[in-house]
């Protein structure tokens, strides 16, 4: 029975008393962005009167099939998920723009690299590789760094990683690599981790992966922030100029915040305390008005110099040492806007290595050639239709015009009779090229050779650049690689696999192999140089041993050590860092206020951590206590500072504040203790370590002059202090 509204409302201009007036208000196009402020409707716009109860026969009776509102809602929900990416499933993204510093017209005709007046919009997605969409941000993993630039000549995607080389040389091995790295298929264990048998079985039988192995065992796979990662296009590409001259090029993104990492213990703790650590960091930073910035760098090599070096530029397991081919910084990318909707933008964005523009071209790198097939293919199954390029996030910002038609979910309404070429009706089909829009032309490289399935001999050196990477590390960095391998290989159950890995490590460096072998209780090989494995019990001794552990490189153009590969010496500052201030209601609120101001001025975020949430009355108003000891963990912060005041007595009695300080000390991060809190630090550290004696090692004590101590403390934030005494003895 119809219950209300006996007068049907007007629906078209010809119907109803007010039809004309209402029809004029109906927008011609559907608004693509919803703000959820309009009244509730179904998907076809019918107003919904009751969203709490389904339609049923009697108050306690069965639900009626007629309830199309219920069915539509459940049905849409049932289909909400699309397949997650087969790799790089977990990611986060941001919008921004790219601005060129200087024209590269000597090298390329690409407008995005020649027109310095244009701000090219970009969308950048960062990701881990192995974990599924719900895995943690701080898993040890290569990180994806995929940039989509919406240029005036179409989308240009640099689908890169935060590591400049790759595991394999030929795309045909990619499914094997990923199957080996993903959770083992019978038990679906482990999630987002390479520390298991199948991964090392594959790696130990694939010596070309040894260079990449060194990178993934380093702290590079544990970035502190997406904004503190380098990005690399990895493959050799080409730039082509107006004269048709080709120059080989490698693309780099250099973060203005410097390249910085977490350490393994921290990353594991963060995984438990904040699985969204990286995406939260980027979201909060951008929301606070602190954009992430990188400079675009290029390394170039003249076409005729292709064979100059003892590594093959088509081999993606090799980098070009910056000492040989310096990086020229040519523009800046700024990420300053968070997405409006994760699914519509971050999940549906579709990167593709074949998205290039006139003036940029591929090389014959066999990994790149395979990728050029794989990305389009994967989008078809992930997004379900070749019309995925019409989704707002994938749509180019320049006109699109061709004779491709129809398919699932077509949005474009192509007008007219002509969807073919050549055509004379309706004017004509889209022109291939116009003078103002030159078309893409492949570089006419002469190609000639027998059809063969072989790996070029020039791809044959698998250890030379692994040695270069090892040599280039500082001793703490070497120590971390050793520890990572000790951990990963200890998780491998099959002894033969562990042994094969030790043999490879010995090809890279004897001391490295010995140190790892010591943890496994094995010897690397029968020809072990120093028969007695050295233990790693004493950190300082380990570091000293590792400092001398250099190898003779090859496939590196004679470069023995490359500064650019080490993270030591990177620019550091408090900018983008997060600092915990431990408080309770009786700490010196004036000092807290000064601290907050000084940190803010330096571009850092501070958070008050106390026994409970609430507010601390300060000289310039209340300050929010945002976290408690239950919700905050030292691993989530880059530094900690404790103000003085009578409240320190209470903090002294709290184990949580001791752990906070001890763990921050152990992880080499900056510590500031003011007034009474100096004693708190001494109490938190193992016997024999006295706060005042640690000055200069990232520990600031301000017994009297809080103001200058605060200034000094802020200056220490962002750096790591690995020369602190007795790091290994700190229980935290
Ligand atoms: Fe990918 N890769 N990849 N890859 N890759 C994908 O595409 C593939 C490789 C990279 O944020 C997939 O859309 C093959 C190197 C990033 O959406 C897939 C090979 C590098 C992303 C695919 C490689 C990358 C992907 C899965 C060996 C660094 C995430 C979902 C020939 C230069 C992009 C998708 C995003 C994603 C295939 C190797 C980077 C299956 C076959 C080398 C950053 O198409």
Contact 190, 394 (CB under 8 A): no
H-run or E-run covering 673:
strand 670-674
Ligand-binding site membership of 174 (annotated): yes
Structure tokens at 174: 């990619």
Q: Could you give the CA distance from residue 393 to residue 344 in angstroms, rounded to a whole number?
A: 7
Q: How far is the CA of 159 from the centre of ligand 1 (A)?
A: 7
Q: How far is the CA of 371 from the centre of ligand 1 (A)?
A: 7
Closest CA to 136 of 320, 323, 276, 21: 276
The domains located in the chain, with CATH, are 91-390 (2.40.180.10), 463-565 (1.20.1370.20), 578-729 (3.40.50.880)
Residue with tokens 């987002």: 192
Q: What per-residue confidence (pLDDT) applies to 729?
A: 87
> How far, in Å, is the centroid of ligand 1 from the Cα of 634?
34
pLDDT at 274: 97
What CA–CA distance (Å, rounded) separates 387 from 379? 10
Q: Which of 150, 117, 114, 126 is nearest to 330 (CA)?
A: 114
Query: Which atom of ligand 1 lies nearest, measured to the CA of 170?
Result: 31
* CA atoms of 611 and 594, how far apart (whole Å): 21
- Minimum-distance ligand 1 atom for the alpha carbon of 168: 27
13-20, long-range: CB within 8 Å, 24+ apart, which pairs?
Answer: none
Cα separation of 302 and 321, whole Å?
Answer: 16
pLDDT at residue 525, rounded to an integer: 59
Alpha carbons 660 and 579: distance in angstroms, whole number:
12
Sign of CA dihedral 217, 219, 220, 225: positive
CB within 8 Å of 350: residues ≥ 6 apart: 375, 379, 382, 383, 388, 389, 391, 394
For residue 428, indicate whether it is catalytic. Answer: no
Task: Give the Cα separation of 681 and 686 in Å (integer).
Answer: 10
**Ligand 1 pocket by Cβ (under 6 Å):** 85-88, 91, 125, 127, 144, 146, 159-161, 166, 171, 174, 234, 316, 351, 367, 370-371, 374-375, 378
DSSP string covering 477-527, please? HHHHHHHHHHHHHHT---HHHHHHHHHHHHHH-HHHHHHHHHHHTS-S-TT
Bridge partners of 254, per DSSP, are 295
| Contact in structure between 708 and 568 (CB atoms under 8 Å) | no
Q: Which two tokens stand for residue 364?
A: 């014959």
For position 7, what pLDDT does the model report?
40
Q: Chunked in runs of 10, what are the mean pLDDT values of the chain (732 residues)?
A: 39 44 65 78 94 98 98 97 98 98 98 98 98 98 98 97 98 98 98 98 98 98 98 98 97 98 97 98 96 98 97 98 98 98 98 98 98 97 97 96 95 92 83 75 95 97 98 95 97 96 96 92 60 39 76 97 96 96 95 97 95 90 94 97 96 94 97 97 94 95 95 97 90 78
Counting from 1 in the atom list of ligand 1, the atom nearest the Cα of 144 is: 43
Look at residue 661 and give its three-state secondary structure.
helix
Q: What is the pLDDT of residue 18?
A: 45
- pLDDT score, position 17: 46
CB atoms near residue 555 (< 10 Å): 23
CB 658 within 8 A of CB 681: no
Say which residue the tokens 């921050």 belong to.
664
Cα 177 to Cα 209, 282, 293: the distances in Å are 10, 30, 32
Give Cα 695 distance to the centre of its chain: 35
Residue 260 designated active-site? no
Lookup: tokens for 285: 């930073």
Pocket test for ligand 1, best of 83, 86, 87, 177 (most atoms within 8 A of CB): 87
Task: Determine contact, residues 507/552, Cβ cutoff 8 Å.
Answer: no
Catalytic residue among 155, 161, 338, 471: 161
């Amino acid at each position: 029975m119809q219950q209300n509204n006996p007068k049907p409302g007007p629906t078209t201009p010809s119907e109803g008393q007010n039809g004309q007036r209402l029809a004029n208000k109906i927008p011609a196009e559907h608004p693509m962005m919803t703000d959820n402020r309009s009244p509730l409707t179904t998907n076809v716009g019918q107003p919904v009167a009751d969203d709490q109860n389904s339609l049923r026969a009697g108050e306690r009776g069965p639900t009626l099939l007629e309830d199309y509102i219920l069915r539509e809602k459940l049905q849409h929900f049932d289909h909400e998920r699309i397949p997650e990416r087969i790799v790089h499933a977990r990611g986060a993204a941001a919008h921004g723009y790219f601005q060129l510093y200087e024209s590269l017209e000597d090298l390329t005709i690409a407008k995005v690299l020649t027109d310095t007046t244009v701000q090219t919009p970009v969308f950048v997605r960062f990701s881990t590789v192995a974990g599924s969409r719900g895995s943690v941000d701080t898993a040890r993993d290569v990180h994806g760094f995929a940039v989509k630039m919406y240029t005036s000549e179409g989308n240009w995607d640099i689908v890169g990683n935060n590591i400049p080389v790759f595991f394999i040389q030929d795309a045909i091995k990619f499914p094997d690599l990923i199957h080996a790295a993903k959770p083992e298929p019978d038990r679906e264990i482990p999630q987002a981790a390479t520390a298991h048998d199948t991964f090392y079985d594959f790696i130990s039988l694939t010596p070309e992966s040894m260079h990449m192995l060194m990178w993934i065992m380093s702290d590079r796979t544990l970035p502190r922030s997406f904004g503190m990662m380098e990005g690399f296009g990895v493959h050799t590409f080409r730039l082509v100029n107006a004269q048709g001259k080709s120059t080989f090029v490698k693309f780099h993104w250099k973060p203005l915040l410097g390249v910085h990492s977490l350490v393994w213990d921290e990353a594991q703790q963060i995984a438990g305390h904040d699985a969204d650590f990286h995406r939260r960091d980027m979201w909060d930073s951008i929301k606070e008005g602190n954009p992430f910035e990188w400079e675009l760098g290029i390394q170039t090599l003249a076409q005729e110099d292709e064979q100059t070096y003892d590594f093959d530029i088509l081999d993606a397991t090799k980098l070009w040492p910056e000492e040989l081919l310096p990086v020229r910084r040519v523009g800046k990318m700024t990420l300053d806007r968070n997405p409006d909707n994760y699914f519509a933008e971050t999940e549906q964005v579709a990167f593709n290595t074949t998205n290039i523009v006139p003036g940029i071209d591929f090389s014959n790198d066999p990994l790149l050639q395979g990728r050029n097939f794989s990305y389009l293919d994967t989008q078809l199954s992930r997004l379900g239709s070749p019309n995925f390029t019409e989704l707002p996030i994938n749509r180019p910002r320049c006109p699109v015009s061709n004779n491709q038609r129809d398919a699932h979910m077509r949005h474009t309404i192509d007008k007219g009779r002509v969807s073919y070429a050549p055509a004379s009706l309706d004017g004509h089909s889209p022109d291939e090229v116009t003078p103002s829009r030159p078309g893409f032309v492949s570089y006419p490289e002469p190609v000639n050779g027998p059809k063969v399935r072989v790996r070029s001999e020039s791809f044959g050196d698998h250890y030379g650049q692994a040695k270069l990477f090892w040599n280039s590390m500082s001793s703490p960095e070497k120590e971390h690689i050793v520890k990572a391998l000790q951990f990963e290989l200890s998780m491998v159950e099959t002894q033969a696999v562990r042994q094969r890995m030790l043999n490879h490590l010995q090809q890279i460096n004897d001391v490295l192999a010995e140190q790892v072998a010591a943890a496994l209780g094995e010897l690397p090989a029968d020809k072990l140089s120093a028969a007695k494995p050295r233990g790693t019990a004493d950190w300082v001794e380990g570091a000293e041993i590792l400092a001398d552990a250099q190898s003779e490189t090859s496939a590196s153009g004679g470069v023995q050590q490359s500064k650019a590969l080490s993270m030591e010496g990177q620019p550091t500052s408090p900018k983008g860092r997060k600092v915990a201030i431990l408080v309770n209601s009786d700490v010196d609120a004036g000092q807290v206020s000064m601290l907050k101001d000084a940190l803010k001025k330096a571009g850092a975020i501070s958070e008050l951590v106390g026994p409970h949430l609430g507010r601390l009355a300060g000289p310039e108003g209340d300050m929010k206590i945002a976290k408690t000891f239950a919700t905050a963990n030292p691993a989530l912060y880059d530094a900690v500072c404790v103000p003085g005041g009578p409240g320190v007595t209470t903090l002294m009695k709290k184990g949580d504040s001791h752990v906070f300080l001890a763990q921050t000390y152990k992880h080499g991060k900056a510590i500031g203790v003011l007034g009474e809190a100096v004693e708190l630090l001494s109490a938190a550290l193992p016997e024999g370590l006295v706060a005042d004696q640690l000055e200069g090692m990232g520990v600031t004590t301000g017994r009297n002059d809080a103001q200058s101590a605060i200034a000094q403390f802020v200056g220490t934030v962002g750096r790591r202090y690995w020369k602190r005494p007795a790091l290994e003895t700190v229980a935290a």
